[in-house]
């Protein structure tokens, strides 16, 4: 006897088979991208790569990413109506397929806009519902959303990293992992700092006030 499974089965709290990558992970990727932007986007342009592109429609990957951008979790039964909810929320969505180069097969590029703010995020669903953001804008990244994340866009000035880490230490937060990328010496740079606990509002204000800091995002664990 042949049985069929609905999207509700695939997206339930117990994940079976490839759905953990193509659906549950895709929801988390959208949710993490939304958290990095800091709000629900007004518009989302999504490029699906590799396996996401070839089998994503059958696994509901397109629905799943949009659902995550709307703030849904992987076990939300409304995922199957994500496009309808996006329209109701006034969020325009454009989904295409393309070759993003030498990246994980389950990768998507999300260009998100909210008001005057735009962010480009590339990430992958790496199995078991886990995700990894590998690029933010022009910068390489490495963030899985499991810990509070501080994203600091800044000018590559001497002592800038030390100033940020000093403030974090003074707030009694512990740095779990840190990655720094820059376009070139003395130009724009990006700090990605994962901490064991979220930073206080005071610490965030201190970092934001540093002379070289251009933009600060505090992303909660998702």
pLDDT in tens, 97-125: 999 999 999 999 999 999 998 999 999 99
- 169 shares its domain with 83: no
- 109 shares its domain with 154: no
pLDDT of residue 2: 41
**Domain final residue, candidates 97, 117, 137:** 137
pLDDT of residue 17: 31
Which has the higher per-residue pLDDT, 9 or 171?
171
pLDDT tier, 19 (very low <50, low <70, confident <90, very high otherwise): low
- Across the range 202-221, mean pLDDT stands at 96
Distance between start and end Cα atoms, the chain: 40
User: How many structural domains are present in the chain?
Assistant: 2
| 2 assigned to some structural domain | no
- 105 shares its domain with 166: no
- 130 shares its domain with 166: no
pLDDT over 50 (residue 9): no
**Domain final residue, candidates 137, 157, 192:** 137
- 75 shares its domain with 154: no
- Across the range 168-190, mean pLDDT stands at 93
pLDDT tier, 57 (very low <50, low <70, confident <90, very high otherwise): confident
| 142 assigned to some structural domain | no
For 154-175, how does the pLDDT look when each residue is reduced to its tens digit (9 = 90+)? Answer: 999 999 999 999 999 999 999 9
pLDDT of residue 20: 65
Burial label for 195, CB within 10 Å (0-12, 13-18, 19+), is: buried
For 134-145, how does the pLDDT look when each residue is reduced to its tens digit (9 = 90+)? Answer: 999 999 999 999
- 121 shares its domain with 201: no
Strands 117-127 and 188-195: unpaired
| 1 assigned to some structural domain | no
pLDDT of residue 18: 40
- 63 shares its domain with 159: no
Domain that holds residue 79: 7-137
What DSSP character marks residue 79? G
Both structure tokens of 2: 């042949």
- Across the range 69-84, mean pLDDT stands at 93
pLDDT of residue 119: 96
- 84 shares its domain with 161: no
Q: Where residue 14 sits, what CATH number does that domain have?
A: 3.30.1330.90
pLDDT over 50 (residue 3): no
């Amino acid at each position: 006897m042949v049985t069929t499974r609905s999207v509700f089965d695939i997206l339930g709290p117990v994940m079976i088979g490839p759905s953990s990558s193509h659906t549950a992970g895709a929801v988390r990727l959208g949710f993490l991208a939304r958290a990095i932007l800091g709000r629900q986007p007004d518009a989302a342009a999504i490029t699906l790569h590799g396996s996401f592109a070839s089998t994503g429609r059958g696994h509901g990957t397109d629905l799943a990413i949009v659902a995550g951008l709307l703030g849904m979790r992987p076990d939300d039964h409304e995922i199957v109506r994500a496009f309808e909810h996006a329209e109701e929320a006034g969020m325009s969505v454009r989904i295409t397929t393309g070759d993003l180069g030498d990246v994980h097969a389950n990768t998507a590029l999300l260009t998100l806009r909210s008001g005057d703010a735009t962010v480009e995020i590339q990430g992958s669903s790496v199995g078991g519902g886990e995700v990894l953001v590998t690029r933010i804008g022009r910068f390489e990244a490495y963030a899985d959303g499991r810990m509070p994340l501080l994203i600091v866009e800044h000018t590559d000035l001497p002592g800038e990293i030390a100033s940020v880490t000093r403030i974090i230490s003074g707030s009694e937060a512990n740095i779990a992992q840190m990655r720094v990328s820059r376009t070139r010496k003395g130009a724009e740079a990006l700090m990605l700092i994962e901490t064991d606990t979220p930073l206080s509002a005071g610490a965030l204000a201190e970092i934001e006030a540093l002379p070289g800091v251009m933009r600060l995002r505090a992303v909660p664990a998702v």
